[in-house]
Amino acid sequence: MPTRHDHDPTLATDAPFRECLLAFVYRWLIRLLLKPLLSPRWTISAQRRWLDWLSWLNRPTPGIDVVAATVAGLPGEWLHPAHAANLRDAVVLYLHGGAFCVGSPRTHRPLAMRLARDTGLSVFAADYRLAPEHPWPAAIDDAEAAFLALAESRRVLVVGDSAGGTLALLLAQRLRDRGLPGPAALGLLSPVADLAVQVDGRTERLDPMLSQAWLSDCFGHWLGKPPSDLPTASPIAGSLSGLAPTFVHFGEQELLAASCERLVAAMQAAGVSAEGHCWLRRWHVFQLHANTLPSANAALSCLGRQLLSVLDATEPPRERTLEVLIMGAGMSGLCMLRGLKQRGQHDVLALEKQPNLGGTWWDNTYPGAQVDVPAPAYAFSFAPNPDWQQRFASASEIQRYQQRLAEREGLLPHLRFNTRLTAAHWQPDQKRWRCETACGQVIHARHFVCSTGPLNQPRWPDIPGLNRFAGTRLHSARWDHQVDLTGKRVAVIGTGSTAVQLIPPLAARAGHLTVLQRTPNWILPRLGRRYRWFDRGLARVPGYAPMVRASWVRFLEWVRSGFDDGTVGRSLMLAIARRLREWQLSDAPLRALLTPNYPLGCKRLIFANDYYPVFRRPNVVLETGPISEVIEHGVRLADGRILDVDVLVCATGFETVRLLASVDIRGRSGACLADRWQEGPSAFHGITVPDFPNFFLMLGPNTATGHTSTLLFIEPAVQHALAAMAHAGNGAVEVAAAAFARHNDALQQRLQGSVWAQCQSWYRAANGRVVALFPGRTREYVVGAAFRADDYHCH
């Protein structure tokens, strides 16, 4: 793949003031305090003393223990995560930069400490011998000795920055040439691929740290060769084939950027799995400013995820034992993982079947994807987000929020991606869950948490002939961005909340768009706006963000009153919805087709300002007749008409009734959870189920909400589960059947008399039972879901 030009969201043009200010300050401090000293005019010993003095300005990473040590006689230091849970059998060998003449583990400690934190692995920072006292090949000999000693008992990742990156690459080439096992993966931060550095004056002026003269002088000391001989010793001059997966990170504004680009291209041409990441508006090894510069933290977290992905993909099947296993790494999974770590439980792993965290916000990337509650309410109480770009956050914004949360809370080492759980069986004799993955891993866990939520498994429409369609078929929850819809004939099945967001951007691109509507929806105006720099500045004022969040939560609770007959809220919402239709749809027959004939709130409310105007476009047609079947080149309607279609888009939601049907979950009696839920899923406060000890659901049955943020339900559910785990101790805890029945009987009695029982929707099972929604207000759930030991029994 080509080099990606990445940047953390904090580097956008409307970036937070703190990031921009810090980047400006660091760039000029480096230019004033470091670049003049990194020069042939100064002796190597003077340069070393200056760098050692500057290292006192480093900011350490909390939770990392630094221990001086030797490996194979090579001095250095171990950086151990204080709460390492031994989740992966691997270590990192870190080789610092400094043009082979200066630098030490101490000067580069912030980078190595952050790497240990983000990978959860112990890092050995080698203090290899430096030139000119110890020229070639002393440094490579030291790196090889340390690597071979570490590799005797575990897999080794090799990470190096600048000259350390060069050393890592040369080490991998030497091990390959000698027929020895090499690193599991390479992480190269601004490596010197070509020792004969040749740059123009503009590039050198742009780099605040490096100069060609200094690099050439140091390389000459190291190799003991004149500059004319340097190219033959460059890693890029040797064979690159057969090397481990490699990740090359570098800054856009550095002297070595072009050579890093060439290295990535050369490795890819040699058949190596190599990825390049160019960080915009950043300089040489800006990752050294970890713990102070947010973009440095983001870059190291990115590298950590990449290295762990290689370890996880190549780990042989084996059995392991954990305290807690979590399925799913979306909002609820991250909240659960954070809660466990806050209580001192670090022996926990979260499995995610997708390539990255995010849950539904990783799955749903269709054009126009947004959350349908105000963003301030769509952040956890313990992690407000001052960086929202708009009131209704986009899917990519929310996924980035989750990413930053995982980075800040140190959750990344506890996540394993591209791993699908297939079975979980309770073992009564061991009082543990035996869980199996699709790749053959077996995990024994005392507690098993399902955090997949209801919006997890895409539901395709049950229409005859759907699989016969010869054109492109897309589902909104598995959007393929490689499909070009420009000028195509597109048909959209579904007009729910997803479709309402998706249809306007499709209409702007498609040559012709047909909207196939079965039931119109209640639509109210969306009170959205862009957030500006002053909004984000205010959000950083202590107390402001919680106040705004609380205000929106209270407003959303008022919206809930619109679901009850006879309330002022309902009358007002009906009037607003009617006025919006009349204002945006002057065509009376069209307005009638888009007017719902069921009570407001029975299906999910939709907030949109750009949906009705779509139908005024000449390339958009609304079809309300039933679909007879899908044929090879289009859709046949019940009246016999055929709609020719190039692309068929199914915005038909998720399997919200058949929760967890893809996983074989068996409880204490051996009964399958899917069988227990044949008539619809049910759980005690949506969290626990009788006969399934030490089993907890996040966003389980009857915890969805039609009016507010699901995060308000996630946090109390996590606290309930944590309290139940503590109550179980080393045994098993299970909800009492009587408490379970009492809770669900009362719940269903309330729901049967509610607006949600008056029409068919994804809230209800086929038998009419409402299985998704909680009927009350948020406060009622928070109070009701508080853990009470009397509702459980231990065994």
Q: What 8-state DSSP symbol labels residue 704?
A: B
> Two tokens at 569?
């809220």
Q: Which residue has the tokens 């955090």?
A: 451
- Token pair of 360 as six digits: 């539904």
Report d(CA 306, CA 166) in Å as an integer. Answer: 19
3-state SS track over 285-334: CHHHHCCCCHHHHHHHHHHHHHHHHHHHHHCCCCEEEEEEEEECCCHHHH
Nearest to 328 by CA among 667, 713, 89, 660: 660
3-state secondary structure 548-559: HHHHHHHHHHHH
**Could you give the CA distance from residue 610 to residue 622 in angstroms, rounded to a whole number?**
15
Task: Classify residue 530 by burial, with Cβ atoms within 10 Å: 0-12, 13-18, 19+.
Answer: exposed
DSSP state at residue 4:
E
φ/ψ of residue 30, rounded to 5: -65, -45
CB 163 within 8 A of CB 97: yes
How many other CB atoms are there within 10 angstroms of residue 36's CB atom?
12
The pLDDT value given to residue 398: 95
Query: Given the structure tokens 């009701």, which residue do they identify?
Result: 784
For the chain, how far is it from start to end, CA to CA, in angstroms?
54
* 698, 333 Cβ separation under 8 angstroms: yes
The Cα angle at residue 353 between residues 351 and 359, in degrees rounded to 5: 90
Q: CATH for 466-650, among 3.40.50.150, 2.30.33.40, 3.40.190.10, 3.50.50.60?
A: 3.50.50.60
Query: Which two structure tokens, joined as six digits, stand for 322?
Result: 């954990």
Q: Whose CA is closest to 261, among 277, 281, 273?
A: 277
Total residues found in the chain within this entry:
795
Amino acid at 157: L
Are the C-beta atoms of residues 348 and 324 closer than 8 Å to each other?
A: yes
Using CA atoms, how far apart are residues 255 and 205, in angstroms rounded to an integer? 9
Strand 512-516, strand 620-623: pairing: parallel
Rounded CA separation 714/704 (Å):
10
CATH superfamily of 4-314: Alpha/Beta hydrolase fold, catalytic domain (3.40.50.1820)
Q: Which residues pair with 250 in a beta bridge?
A: 278
DSSP characters over 98-143? STTTS--TTTTHHHHHHHHHHH-S-EEEE----TTTS-TTHHHHHH
Given a contact cutoff of 8 angstroms between Cβ atoms, the answer to whether 303 and 247 are in contact is yes
Q: Is the dihedral of CA 477, 478, 481, 487 positive or negative?
A: negative
d(CA 258, CA 250): 10
Collapsing DSSP to helix, strand or coil, 394 comes out as strand
Contact 223, 233 (CB under 8 A): yes
Residue 683's pLDDT is 96
- Counting as low any pLDDT under 50, the low residues of the chain are 1-2, 7-15
**Cα dihedral sign for 78, 80, 85, 91?**
negative
Measured between alpha carbons, how far is 479 from 500 in angstroms, rounded to an integer?
16
User: Do 466-650 and 4-314 fall under one CATH topology?
Assistant: no
CB 666 within 8 Å of CB 424:
yes
Q: What pLDDT score was predicted for residue 12? A: 36
What is the token pair recorded at 242?
């057969």
Tokens 């010869």 found at: 470
Q: Compute CA 770 distance to the chain's CA centroid, rounded to the nearest angstrom.
A: 31
In 10 A of CB 720, how many CB atoms?
A: 22
Superfamily of domain 319-457+665-794: FAD/NAD(P)-binding domain (3.50.50.60)
Domain ranges of the chain: 4-314, 319-457+665-794, 466-650
Place of tokens 């006879």: 566
Q: Scan for tokens 């290899």, then name that residue.
A: 128
Distance in angstroms (rounded) separating the CA atoms of residues 162 and 684:
56
Report the C-alpha gap between 205 and 31 in whole angstroms: 10
Q: Tell me what pLDDT residue 477 has.
A: 87
| Tens-place pLDDT, residues 734-776 | 999 999 999 999 999 999 888 888 887 878 888 888 888 999 9
C-alpha to C-alpha distance for 742 and 489, rounded to whole angstroms: 53
H-helix or E-strand containing 339?
helix 331-342
Q: Say which DSSP state 164 is in.
A: H
Distance CA 404, CA 380 (A): 13
Tokens of residue 174, six digits = 């030497």
Q: What is the pLDDT of residues 329-364, one digit of tens each?
A: 999 999 999 999 999 999 999 999 998 998 889 988
CB atoms within 10 A of CB 423: 15
CA-to-CA distance for 607 and 550, rounded, in angstroms? Answer: 20
Burial 225-242 (b: 16+ CB within 10 A, else e): beeeebeebbbbeeebee
pLDDT at 641: 94
Q: Taking phi first (over 0 means left), then psi (-120 to 50 degrees means alpha), and beta for anything else, what does residue 170 get?
A: alpha
Q: What share of the chain is helix, strand, coil (3-state, %, to 5)?
A: 40, 20, 45
**pLDDT tens digits, 81-106:** 987 667 888 999 999 999 999 999 99
Residue 132: asked if its preceding bond is cis (omega within 30°), the reply is: yes
**Which value, in Å, is the radius of gyration of the alpha carbons in the chain?**
29
Cα separation values, 156 from 115, 190, 274, Å: 14, 20, 18
